[in-house]
Structure 1
Amino acid sequence: MSLLRFIIVAIFSSLLLAGCSFVDRWVYRPDINQGNYITQESVDKLKVGQTKEQVVFIMGSPMLTSLFGDDIWYYVFRQNPQHGYPKQITYTIIFDDSGKVADIKRAASDNVSLDDME
Protein backbone atom coordinates (compact mmCIF):
# COMPACT_ATOMS: atom_id res chain seq x y z
CA MET A 1 0.00 0.00 0.00
CA SER A 2 2.83 2.42 0.74
CA LEU A 3 4.42 1.62 -2.67
CA LEU A 4 1.18 2.57 -4.39
CA ARG A 5 1.02 5.80 -2.39
CA PHE A 6 4.64 6.57 -3.30
CA ILE A 7 3.95 5.99 -7.01
CA ILE A 8 0.88 8.25 -6.90
CA VAL A 9 2.79 11.01 -5.10
CA ALA A 10 5.70 10.68 -7.56
CA ILE A 11 3.39 10.91 -10.59
CA PHE A 12 1.49 13.84 -9.10
CA SER A 13 4.72 15.68 -8.25
CA SER A 14 6.17 15.16 -11.71
CA LEU A 15 2.96 16.45 -13.29
CA LEU A 16 3.05 19.53 -11.11
CA LEU A 17 6.66 20.28 -12.01
CA ALA A 18 6.15 19.61 -15.71
CA GLY A 19 2.92 21.61 -15.65
CA CYS A 20 4.82 24.85 -15.23
CA SER A 21 5.92 24.72 -18.85
CA PHE A 22 2.36 24.10 -20.06
CA VAL A 23 0.87 26.83 -17.90
CA ASP A 24 3.35 29.42 -19.14
CA ARG A 25 1.12 30.32 -22.11
CA TRP A 26 -1.80 31.03 -19.82
CA VAL A 27 0.14 33.38 -17.57
CA TYR A 28 -0.50 37.03 -18.40
CA ARG A 29 2.52 39.01 -19.52
CA PRO A 30 2.11 42.59 -20.68
CA ASP A 31 3.55 43.84 -23.95
CA ILE A 32 6.61 45.94 -23.22
CA ASN A 33 7.27 48.86 -25.56
CA GLN A 34 10.47 50.84 -25.08
CA GLY A 35 12.01 53.83 -26.74
CA ASN A 36 10.38 56.25 -29.13
CA TYR A 37 6.89 55.10 -30.09
CA ILE A 38 7.07 55.43 -33.86
CA THR A 39 4.07 55.18 -36.15
CA GLN A 40 4.08 54.72 -39.91
CA GLU A 41 2.15 57.97 -40.19
CA SER A 42 4.96 59.95 -38.56
CA VAL A 43 7.63 58.19 -40.63
CA ASP A 44 5.74 59.08 -43.81
CA LYS A 45 5.91 62.77 -42.83
CA LEU A 46 9.71 62.73 -42.64
CA LYS A 47 11.37 64.25 -45.71
CA VAL A 48 14.89 65.13 -46.73
CA GLY A 49 15.45 68.86 -46.31
CA GLN A 50 13.43 69.33 -43.10
CA THR A 51 14.92 71.23 -40.18
CA LYS A 52 15.71 69.75 -36.77
CA GLU A 53 12.70 71.54 -35.28
CA GLN A 54 10.41 69.94 -37.84
CA VAL A 55 11.84 66.49 -37.09
CA VAL A 56 11.32 66.98 -33.34
CA PHE A 57 7.74 68.10 -34.01
CA ILE A 58 7.04 64.96 -36.07
CA MET A 59 9.03 62.28 -34.24
CA GLY A 60 9.64 63.74 -30.79
CA SER A 61 13.00 63.97 -29.07
CA PRO A 62 15.59 61.47 -30.27
CA MET A 63 16.61 58.64 -27.98
CA LEU A 64 20.29 59.05 -28.87
CA THR A 65 22.41 61.62 -30.62
CA SER A 66 25.87 61.32 -32.09
CA LEU A 67 28.77 61.55 -29.67
CA PHE A 68 30.74 63.70 -32.11
CA GLY A 69 28.20 66.44 -32.70
CA ASP A 70 24.49 66.94 -33.09
CA ASP A 71 24.28 65.81 -36.71
CA ILE A 72 23.03 62.22 -36.27
CA TRP A 73 19.86 61.36 -34.35
CA TYR A 74 18.65 57.87 -33.47
CA TYR A 75 15.02 56.91 -32.89
CA VAL A 76 14.71 53.41 -31.46
CA PHE A 77 11.46 51.52 -30.95
CA ARG A 78 11.66 48.12 -29.26
CA GLN A 79 8.69 45.88 -28.62
CA ASN A 80 8.69 42.72 -26.53
CA PRO A 81 5.32 40.98 -27.05
CA GLN A 82 3.72 38.77 -24.41
CA HIS A 83 5.02 35.41 -25.54
CA GLY A 84 6.96 36.30 -28.68
CA TYR A 85 10.42 37.42 -29.59
CA PRO A 86 11.58 41.03 -29.21
CA LYS A 87 11.49 43.24 -32.30
CA GLN A 88 13.33 46.50 -32.83
CA ILE A 89 13.25 49.25 -35.44
CA THR A 90 15.86 52.00 -35.50
CA TYR A 91 15.62 55.17 -37.59
CA THR A 92 18.84 57.10 -38.10
CA ILE A 93 18.40 60.69 -39.24
CA ILE A 94 21.51 62.38 -40.58
CA PHE A 95 21.68 66.17 -40.83
CA ASP A 96 23.94 68.24 -43.07
CA ASP A 97 26.04 71.23 -41.99
CA SER A 98 23.08 73.61 -42.32
CA GLY A 99 20.95 71.52 -39.90
CA LYS A 100 18.63 70.01 -42.51
CA VAL A 101 17.87 66.33 -43.01
CA ALA A 102 20.34 64.82 -45.48
CA ASP A 103 19.44 61.13 -45.13
CA ILE A 104 17.01 58.83 -43.33
CA LYS A 105 18.04 55.22 -42.68
CA ARG A 106 15.98 52.38 -41.26
CA ALA A 107 17.25 49.23 -39.57
CA ALA A 108 14.98 46.49 -38.26
CA SER A 109 15.44 43.16 -36.57
CA ASP A 110 13.96 40.29 -38.60
CA ASN A 111 12.73 42.67 -41.36
CA VAL A 112 9.81 43.85 -39.24
CA SER A 113 7.49 46.62 -40.37
CA LEU A 114 5.85 49.06 -38.00
CA ASP A 115 2.44 47.58 -38.78
CA ASP A 116 3.67 44.13 -37.66
CA MET A 117 4.79 45.60 -34.34
CA GLU A 118 1.44 47.17 -33.47
Structure 2
Amino acid sequence: MRCKLLTAAVVALGILVTGCSTLEKVVYRPDINQGNFLTPADVSKLQKGMTKQQVAYILGTPMLQDPFGSETWFYVFRQQPGHQDVTQQTLTLTFDGGGSLSGITNDTSMMKQEN
Protein backbone atom coordinates (compact mmCIF):
# COMPACT_ATOMS: atom_id res chain seq x y z
CA MET A 1 0.00 0.00 0.00
CA ARG A 2 2.79 2.36 0.95
CA CYS A 3 4.65 1.56 -2.30
CA LYS A 4 1.60 2.40 -4.41
CA LEU A 5 1.10 5.69 -2.58
CA LEU A 6 4.76 6.58 -3.00
CA THR A 7 4.63 5.70 -6.72
CA ALA A 8 1.51 7.81 -7.22
CA ALA A 9 3.13 10.73 -5.40
CA VAL A 10 6.27 10.50 -7.55
CA VAL A 11 4.22 10.37 -10.76
CA ALA A 12 2.07 13.33 -9.66
CA LEU A 13 5.17 15.30 -8.69
CA GLY A 14 6.79 14.47 -12.02
CA ILE A 15 3.77 15.75 -13.94
CA LEU A 16 3.67 18.95 -11.91
CA VAL A 17 7.38 19.62 -12.33
CA THR A 18 7.54 19.01 -16.08
CA GLY A 19 4.32 20.85 -16.89
CA CYS A 20 3.01 20.98 -20.42
CA SER A 21 6.16 22.43 -21.97
CA THR A 22 7.63 18.99 -22.66
CA LEU A 23 4.39 17.85 -24.24
CA GLU A 24 3.92 20.98 -26.37
CA LYS A 25 4.47 19.23 -29.71
CA VAL A 26 2.10 16.42 -28.73
CA VAL A 27 -0.81 18.73 -27.94
CA TYR A 28 -2.95 19.43 -31.02
CA ARG A 29 -3.09 23.03 -32.20
CA PRO A 30 -5.38 23.81 -35.12
CA ASP A 31 -4.23 25.94 -38.02
CA ILE A 32 -5.62 29.47 -37.73
CA ASN A 33 -6.15 31.45 -40.94
CA GLN A 34 -7.53 34.98 -40.83
CA GLY A 35 -8.17 37.59 -43.47
CA ASN A 36 -8.13 37.66 -47.26
CA PHE A 37 -6.36 34.64 -48.78
CA LEU A 38 -4.82 35.79 -52.06
CA THR A 39 -3.16 33.47 -54.54
CA PRO A 40 -0.14 34.74 -56.49
CA ALA A 41 -2.21 34.25 -59.67
CA ASP A 42 -4.85 36.69 -58.39
CA VAL A 43 -2.26 39.28 -57.39
CA SER A 44 -0.54 38.99 -60.77
CA LYS A 45 -3.82 39.96 -62.49
CA LEU A 46 -3.61 43.44 -60.98
CA GLN A 47 -2.43 46.23 -63.25
CA LYS A 48 -1.98 49.91 -62.62
CA GLY A 49 -4.87 51.92 -64.01
CA MET A 50 -7.58 49.41 -63.02
CA THR A 51 -10.71 50.80 -61.38
CA LYS A 52 -11.78 49.98 -57.82
CA GLN A 53 -14.61 47.85 -59.21
CA GLN A 54 -12.19 45.79 -61.31
CA VAL A 55 -9.88 45.25 -58.32
CA ALA A 56 -12.79 44.25 -56.09
CA TYR A 57 -13.96 41.78 -58.76
CA ILE A 58 -10.54 40.09 -58.81
CA LEU A 59 -9.65 40.15 -55.09
CA GLY A 60 -12.95 40.72 -53.31
CA THR A 61 -13.56 43.41 -50.74
CA PRO A 62 -10.53 44.59 -48.75
CA MET A 63 -10.13 43.83 -45.07
CA LEU A 64 -9.26 47.44 -44.26
CA GLN A 65 -9.68 50.77 -46.00
CA ASP A 66 -7.91 54.01 -45.23
CA PRO A 67 -9.90 55.59 -42.38
CA PHE A 68 -9.29 59.08 -43.76
CA GLY A 69 -10.62 58.28 -47.22
CA SER A 70 -10.97 55.32 -49.53
CA GLU A 71 -7.78 55.83 -51.51
CA THR A 72 -5.85 52.96 -49.85
CA TRP A 73 -7.04 49.36 -49.51
CA PHE A 74 -5.38 46.71 -47.35
CA TYR A 75 -5.72 42.98 -47.97
CA VAL A 76 -4.29 41.20 -44.92
CA PHE A 77 -3.87 37.43 -44.53
CA ARG A 78 -2.47 35.98 -41.31
CA GLN A 79 -1.67 32.29 -41.05
CA GLN A 80 -0.72 30.44 -37.87
CA PRO A 81 -0.13 26.76 -38.64
CA GLY A 82 -0.14 24.55 -35.53
CA HIS A 83 3.30 24.73 -33.91
CA GLN A 84 5.02 26.86 -36.56
CA ASP A 85 5.74 30.58 -36.73
CA VAL A 86 3.06 33.04 -37.80
CA THR A 87 3.22 34.51 -41.31
CA GLN A 88 1.37 37.58 -42.46
CA GLN A 89 0.87 38.84 -46.00
CA THR A 90 -0.23 42.44 -46.48
CA LEU A 91 -1.19 43.67 -49.94
CA THR A 92 -1.55 47.46 -50.00
CA LEU A 93 -3.29 49.04 -52.97
CA THR A 94 -3.27 52.79 -53.52
CA PHE A 95 -5.73 54.59 -55.78
CA ASP A 96 -5.43 58.07 -57.25
CA GLY A 97 -8.09 60.77 -57.04
CA GLY A 98 -9.89 59.37 -60.09
CA GLY A 99 -10.29 55.93 -58.51
CA SER A 100 -7.74 54.07 -60.62
CA LEU A 101 -5.03 51.83 -59.19
CA SER A 102 -1.72 53.68 -58.87
CA GLY A 103 0.37 51.63 -56.42
CA ILE A 104 0.77 47.97 -55.42
CA THR A 105 2.85 46.87 -52.41
CA ASN A 106 3.00 43.21 -51.35
CA ASP A 107 4.74 42.52 -48.02
CA THR A 108 5.19 39.15 -46.34
CA SER A 109 6.49 38.97 -42.80
CA MET A 110 7.19 36.14 -40.38
CA MET A 111 6.62 36.53 -36.64
CA LYS A 112 7.89 34.38 -33.81
CA GLN A 113 5.21 32.28 -32.17
CA GLU A 114 4.18 33.53 -28.75
CA ASN A 115 3.96 30.96 -25.99
Q: Provide the TM-score with structure 2 as the length reference.
A: 0.82
Kindly report structure 1 stretches of 4+ aligned residues shifted beyond 4 Å. Answer: 4-7
What is the rounded CA distance, in whole Å, between the counterparts of 1:14 and 1:107 in structure 2? 48
Aligned to 1:89: 89
Unmatched segments (≥5 aa) in structure 1:
112-118
What is the rounded CA distance, in whole Å, between the counterparts of 2:110 and 2:34 in structure 1? 18
Aligned to 1:13: 12
What is the rounded CA distance, in whole Å, between the counterparts of 1:110 and 1:87 in structure 2? 4
Aligned to 1:104: 104
Aligned to 1:115: none
Q: CA deviation at 1:51?
A: 0.8
Aligned to 1:33: 33
Q: 1:46 to 1:20 in 2, by over 3 A?
A: same
Q: Which amino acid aligns with 2:84?
A: G
Q: CA deviation at 1:67?
A: 1.3
Q: Which amino acid aligns with 1:89?
A: Q
* Identical-residue share of aligned pairs (%): 44
Q: CA deviation at 1:31?
A: 0.6
What is the rounded CA distance, in whole Å, between the counterparts of 1:15 and 1:68 in structure 2? 57
Tell me, yes or no, if the aligned pair for 2:86 and 2:110 is still in contact at 8 Å: no
Tell me the alpha carbon deviations over residues 51-106 of structure 1, each in whole angstroms, 9 at most, x when there is no partner.
10111011110011111211100000000110112111111100011111000012
More helix by proportion, 1 or 2?
Answer: 1
Q: Which amino acid aligns with 2:52?
A: K
Q: CA deviation at 1:19?
A: 5.9
The 3-state SS of whatever aligns with 1:48 is coil
Tell me, yes or no, if the aligned pair for 2:52 and 2:100 is still in contact at 8 Å: yes
Count matched residues. 110
Q: Which amino acid aligns with 1:54?
A: Q
More strand by proportion, 1 or 2?
Answer: 2
Q: Which amino acid aligns with 2:86?
A: P
